[in-house]
Amino acid sequence: MKRIHSWGLSAIAALLLVACGGGGDGDQGSRVKYTAMVSFGDSLSDVGTYAVSTIAAVGGGKYTVNGPAGKNWTELIAAQIGVAAPCAAQTGLNSIIPSIPAVPVTNHAGCYGYAQGGARVTNPVGPQNINTYPASPDGALGQLTDPIVNQISRHLATVGGSFSGTELVTVLGGGNDVFMNLAALGAGLETPTQAVTAMGTAGAELAAYIKTQIVAKGATHVVVVNLPDVSQTPFAYSVDAQTQGLINTMVTTFNAQLASGLSGTNGVLLVDAYTQGRAQTANLAQYGITNATVPACDFTLMIFASSLVCSTSTLIAGDTSMYQFADTVHPTPYGYRLLAQYVAERMALNGWL
C-alpha cells in the first residue's frame, strides 16, 4: 500500500466526519472561522524572535532547517485554518559575543507569535539567557527567554485585556524547564526528586495560566500541545540510561499535572504529542522518518551548534529531507509537518477544523 505523506488515514476520516456534519463541539457541518492565530511557548513555536544580527545574516532565525520550507508547526496550522502566518511579537538579543552583536528588544504591533526560544513556563531565566552566564558559557548568546506567563500578559495588554473569541490560541511549553532542572541537577543544586517535583509544579502552573489568563479572558479555541518526550531525542541518547529515565519521568510528571489542571475546561483541546511522538519513534517507516537519532544539521558548518542558525546550506551529506531532528532536540521541517498534521487531525475530530 502506498504511504500517504500529506495526511494520515485517521485525519482524512476526521475531515470527512466534519464535512458531513458530525463530531466535536464546533458548529456541525461548518468550518470554524478563525480571524488570527495567537501562539505562546518556546522554541518549538518560535517564528523569529532571534532572527536578528548575525543569526539573520547567516539565514537563521527559527529552530529547524531554515529556508523556504523551514516552517514550524504553528505556521503550518495557520495556513491550514486560513489565517496570516504568525510573526514574532518581539525580537532582540542580549548577546555578548563579539561576532553576534546585541540587538535592542523591539515589540511588533499586530504580531501574535509570542513564543521564544529558551522560554520557560514561569521562570524568566531559560537556556542561553544572559543571566546563566558565565556558569553556562551558552548564556553569552543572550536569548530573551520571556516566560509563557509574561507572554500571555503582554498579549492581553496589547489587545485591551481580553481575547476576542475568534482566535486560535496555541500553547506548547515545558521543554526548557526540563533543561534548566537538569542543569541544576548537574550543578548539585537539586536532587532528582526535586527536579521531578519542579516539573510537576510547572505543568500545574501552565494549566492555571491557560484557565485564568486565556480561557477566562475570552478565548474559545485553545489548542494545548503537551510536552513531547525529550528522552527520545539525540540529546537524550547522548546521556546514560538512568538520566534518560529521569528525563522521561520529568516529562510525564509535567504532562500529568497539565492534563489534570485542564480537565473539564471548556474551549481547550489538549493534544497528546507525547504519545504520538513515541508512536512515531516506534514505527519510523510508517511515518516516513528515515532517521530519528542523528541531527540533519552539520554543526561544523554553523556559527554555533543550534538549528537556530542551520539552513539548507549547512546540512550533513545525503538526503536529510525526512530526518526527524534538525539538531539534538528540535525537529526538521518534516518533523514539524508530522506534528502539525497530528494537531490538525485532533482539531478536525473535535470539530475545530
d(CA 179, CA 190): 13
pLDDT confidence of residue 3: 34
Q: What is the pLDDT along the chain (353 residues), one digit of tens a residue?
A: 333 343 343 444 444 333 333 333 433 335 799 999 999 999 999 999 999 999 999 999 999 999 999 999 999 999 999 999 999 999 999 999 999 999 999 999 999 999 999 999 999 999 999 999 999 999 999 999 999 999 999 999 999 999 999 999 999 999 999 999 999 999 999 999 999 999 999 999 999 999 999 999 999 999 999 999 999 999 999 999 999 999 999 999 999 999 999 999 999 999 999 999 999 999 999 999 999 999 999 999 999 999 999 999 999 999 999 999 999 999 999 999 999 999 999 999 999 99
pLDDT confidence of residue 24: 39
pLDDT confidence of residue 31: 79
Full set of structural domains in the chain with CATH: 9-21+32-349 (3.40.50.1110)
